[in-house]
Amino acid sequence: MRDNHRRLRSVTAGIDERRSLRRQWECAILLSGALAAASFAPHPIVLPIVSVVLIAAAAIASGYAWLTAERRVAGEFGRWDQAGILVFAGFAAALTGDSAEVLQFLEGLVEPRIAGE
């Protein structure tokens, strides 16, 4: 009886460990995907786009964790941890971007339309 309990506990620990590792890889893929997608944008708005994509991904991850009532486990990398890392990376991208450069770029987009009217 004890052996069955130990074996079952080790199997569930292995499943939790694989799930945790998979979520870490998901987070890394989302971060690199956001950077890759934003690399096609004009230079001044790359970081704002990355920021918006990462914050949206964090909202989706935390919404999923909330809807599935995922519990926070100390030794496991869960959806809440994933959302926290994505929000942190999104805020870091927003803070490191140059807002004056972005505003100048956006004004440059609007001025030709006004001049054409």
Could you read off the pLDDT tens digit of each residue along the chain, which spans 117 residues? 555 555 555 555 566 677 777 877 887 887 788 778 777 878 788 888 888 888 998 999 899 889 988 887 777 778 888 899 999 999 998 898 887 887 788 788 777 666 566
Neighbours of 51 (CB within 10 A): 21
How far is it, in rounded angstroms, from Cα 35 to Cα 29?
A: 10
The domain ranges of the chain are: 2-116
Tell me the CA distances in angstroms from 48 to 11, 35, 62, 91, 106, one per residue in order: 43, 11, 21, 10, 12
Provide Rg for the chain, Cα atoms: 21
Residue 16, both tokens: 């939790």
What tens digit of pLDDT does each residue of 51-74 get?
A: 888 899 899 989 988 998 888 777
